[in-house]
A and B are shown apart, each in its own frame.
Chain A
Amino acid sequence: MSADAPSRFAVLLDSDFVYSFRKSRVTLIATLVTVSIIMAALLAPWIAPHDPFDVATLSLLDSELPPAWAEGGDPHFLLGTDNQGRDVLSAILYGSRISLAVGFVSVFFALVAGVAVGLISGYFGGLVDAIFMRIADVMLSFPTILVALLVSGIVRGALPREMHENAALAVLVFAIAITTWVQYARTVRGSTMVERGQEYVLAARLVGRSSASIIFRHILPNVMGPVLVIATINLAMAILIEATLSFLGVGMPPTNPSLGTLIRVGNEYLFSGIWWVVIFPSLTLVVLVLAVNLMGDWLRDALNPKLR
């Protein structure tokens, strides 16, 4: 490339895409919040003031302390402690870690499976398409939570009891992915059917490119835009489903709690006046989901040429 041509990075910075991002204050804040929560969760072992899972450091003397600013609060425990003397802030940091991990991993699996099914269905059509899409119809006709409950119930039933805690994360990811891949599949199938008929794909067929090669090199890059939008919005949804499942007691165990588990556990103390144990994890969940959703909304608009 010649020296005076602007670099790809400079071109990207100058693009309408980045411009619309910089101009939308809501999106900027949402991104900032999301990134902070993700960073905090990632760095939990280093920035958390306490290790909520190290039983040795827990002291019942510190139990049920209110937040630091309230009467009777302890500056060591910024957001207070629960009935076992666990620091709520630390528990939230570690809990976000689990929630985000479940979210990202389940989105990843759902995306890979959904995109693959969508590409194959849309490109080849016919019987394959009919079978895949009827399966998708069936999946869509059940409420997501119901399917997730069902799947996690079945897996739990199939596994020996002592494995439940270790398998909880995998079960959650599986349950969420199996209920959300349909959205990717349907969207990608639709776009693939459009792209398949485009003349650039015909040109590739004329030079003898294989179907697999056309799908990966030509079609996939052109159908990923909407997939990114769904992935972002589904990340928020996956975190919520995880929280719901954990809240219902079929998700992460209290020994390795996610935000949902924290809310469930805290919920039991709400009426005894210990509000901080449930309120702060709930707030974190709301803020995280809201922020990710706002990013998804912006992404959808920014990638939609009709709204430019």
Chain B
Amino acid sequence: MTATSEPLVSMQGLKKHFDVSPPWLNRMLERKPRLHLRAVDGLDLEIPRGTTFSLVGESGCGKSTVARLVVGLYAPTAGSIRFEGTDLTDRPAGDPPAIRRRMQMIFQDPYASLNPRWRVRDIIAEPLKCFGMLPDRASEDREVGRLLELVGMNSQDGEKYPHEFSGGQRQRISIARAISSKPDFLVCDEPTSALDVSVQAQILNLMKELQRELGLTYLFISHDLAVVHFMSDFIGVMYLGRIVETGPARQVFANPQHPYTRLLLDTIPDITMARRDREPVAGEVPNPIDPPPGCAFHPRCPFSDARCRSELPELRNAPSGARTACHAVAEGRLADGPVRAVPSTPAQMPT
């Protein structure tokens, strides 16, 4: 990435380890060791202003943990998080208000992200109130009405309760709440994975429109490569707490380097029905409490050798323009492996 200006958000050596040890008494009596789940294990990334950076990976790869670390819902075990150069590493969510106002979040489950006992109006006005952005209730009402219309709903809908709306409408309400404090940066944690495809299309289109109109920067978390392809300027592919491949989305999709990226691209169901009888890749994601030594992907990797089993690969510049953490790619061992090419997409060029 050769961003000329300062990135809006940057993370350096970010780690989050969860203590999943058995209770003290069991540890003492049964001589069980302390256990740590390394959800995020050393992550560097920079998100340029006005772009969408997507983190993609299978469940348990740590992508949602990154989302929560960035907004301060989790405290990192190590590393740093900066927003416009301000260090937010040890600040909890909502603090300092002047900066946290500018970074909000859209959640995955539209049924859990809205308090069922609150009117929609109060839900959307919550950030306005908490950040003290408007002087009185009347201007708050006007703003809530404006926001509702901005996300494609009726300004009268504010008087209703969440249960009166469908999943897609609830997600619009959730978006209205997220943009009410006029943020620059939105963390979107699987915002459409609980929605039907036709509703997903509505929400993704809306998010793109809002990004254009409001100049938003997105950190977009998803397991769905097709959705990520549609949304992103940059992507990072995560596997067991680390980024294995990152770069401009166009390059990564057109010329995936890391074997895991290729696996992911190869396994997504293909509605063009071109590859119906291909052999699926075997293997499952290992337990993140006890990850394999060396490159965590080596047990599933067709290109692994002795070095992969012992030495952790670092992210290095790959010839494709992306950065890849893979010994095989670095040594050029992949040259005659199958490379699944995908037509590039001019519309996805980052500006």
A touches B in complex, CB < 8 A: yes
Q: Give residues in A with beta carbon < 8 Å to B.
A: 1-2, 5, 198-200, 202-209, 218, 221-222
> Which of chain B's residues have a CB closer than 8 A to the CB of A2?
156
> Which of chain A's residues have a CB closer than 8 A to the CB of B73?
202, 205-206
Q: CA separation between A221 and B161, bound complex, in Å?
A: 14
Instruction: Write the B88-132 contact mask toward A (1 if CB under 8 angstroms, else 0).
Output: 000011110100110011011100111111000001001100110
B159 at the interface (CB under 8 A from A): yes
In the complex, 24 of the A-B residue pairs with CB atoms within 8 angstroms, ordered by the A residue number, are A2-B156, A5-B159, A199-B107, A199-B108, A200-B115, A202-B105, A203-B113, A203-B126, A204-B126, A206-B104, A206-B105, A207-B104, A207-B131, A207-B181, A208-B95, A208-B97, A209-B126, A209-B130, A218-B115, A221-B115, A221-B117, A222-B115, A222-B116, A222-B117
The 7 closest A-B pairs by CB, nearest first: A208-B94, A199-B113, A199-B107, A207-B130, A221-B117, A205-B93, A200-B115
Q: CA separation between A1 and B100, bound complex, in Å?
A: 34
Given A199-B107, A222-B117: A208 in contact with B93 (beta carbons within 8 A): yes
Which one of B73, B95, B115, B126 has the greatest number of beta carbons of chain A within 10 Å?
A: B115
Q: CA separation between A206 and B217, bound complex, in Å?
A: 17
> Which of chain A's residues have a CB closer than 8 A to the CB of B63?
none
> Which of chain B's residues have a CB closer than 8 A to the CB of A202?
68, 73, 93, 105, 107, 113
Closest B residue, CB atoms, query A219: B115
| Of the residues B93, B101, B112, contact of A199 by C-beta under 8 Å | B112
Q: Is the CB of A207 within 8 A of B126?
A: yes
Q: Is the CB of A206 within 8 A of B93?
A: yes
Which one of A205, A221, A222 has the greatest number of beta carbons of chain B within 10 Å?
A: A205
Q: CA separation between A2 and B72, bound complex, in Å?
A: 41
Given A200-B113, A218-B115: A206 in contact with B94 (beta carbons within 8 A): yes
Closest A residue, CB atoms, query B180: A207
Q: CA separation between A207 and B72, bound complex, in Å?
A: 11
Q: Give residues in B with beta carbon < 8 Å to A.
A: 68, 71-73, 92-95, 97, 100-101, 104-105, 107-109, 112-117, 123, 126-127, 130-131, 156, 159, 174, 177, 181
| Of the residues A1, A199, A204, contact of B109 by C-beta under 8 Å | A199
| Of the residues A199, A206, A218, A221, contact of B71 by C-beta under 8 Å | A206
| Of the residues A5, A203, A209, A221, contact of B107 by C-beta under 8 Å | A203
Closest A residue, CB atoms, query B187: A206
Q: Is the CB of B130 within 8 A of A200?
A: no
- Distance in angstroms from A193 CB to nearest chain B CB is 14
- Distance in angstroms from A131 CB to nearest chain B CB is 14
Q: CA separation between A199 and B173, bound complex, in Å?
A: 13
- Distance in angstroms from B74 CB to nearest chain A CB is 11
Q: CA separation between A199 and B174, bound complex, in Å?
A: 10
> Which of chain B's residues have a CB closer than 8 A to the CB of A207?
94, 100-101, 104, 126-127, 130-131, 181
Which one of A1, A2, A203, A222 has the greatest number of beta carbons of chain B within 10 Å?
A: A203
Q: Is the CB of B105 within 8 A of A209?
A: no
| Of the residues B109, B116, B130, B159, contact of A208 by C-beta under 8 Å | B130
Q: CA separation between A200 and B178, bound complex, in Å?
A: 12
Closest A residue, CB atoms, query B117: A221
Q: CA separation between A203 and B72, bound complex, in Å?
A: 11
> Which of chain B's residues have a CB closer than 8 A to the CB of A209?
94, 126, 130
- Distance in angstroms from B18 CB to nearest chain A CB is 14
Q: CA separation between A205 and B115, bound complex, in Å?
A: 13
Closest B residue, CB atoms, query A209: B130
Q: CA separation between A209 and B94, bound complex, in Å?
A: 7
Closest B residue, CB atoms, query A5: B159
Q: CA separation between A204 and B178, bound complex, in Å?
A: 11
Closest A residue, CB atoms, query B23: A130
Q: Is the CB of B100 within 8 A of A206?
A: yes
Q: Is the CB of B156 within 8 A of A208?
A: no
Extra pairs beyond A205-B92, A206-B73, A208-B97 (6, CB < 8 Å):
A200-B113, A200-B114, A202-B73, A207-B101, A209-B126, A222-B116
> Which of chain A's residues have a CB closer than 8 A to the CB of B123?
200
Which one of A198, A205, A206, A222 has the greatest number of beta carbons of chain B within 10 Å?
A: A206
- Distance in angstroms from B118 CB to nearest chain A CB is 8
- Distance in angstroms from B108 CB to nearest chain A CB is 7
- Distance in angstroms from A215 CB to nearest chain B CB is 13
- Distance in angstroms from A156 CB to nearest chain B CB is 39
> Which of chain A's residues have a CB closer than 8 A to the CB of B130?
207-209
Q: CA separation between A97 and B112, bound complex, in Å?
A: 44
Which one of A1, A200, A205 has the greatest number of beta carbons of chain B within 10 Å?
A: A200
> Which of chain A's residues have a CB closer than 8 A to the CB of B115?
200, 218, 221-222
Q: Is the CB of A208 within 8 A of B113?
A: no
Q: CA separation between A198 and B116, bound complex, in Å?
A: 11
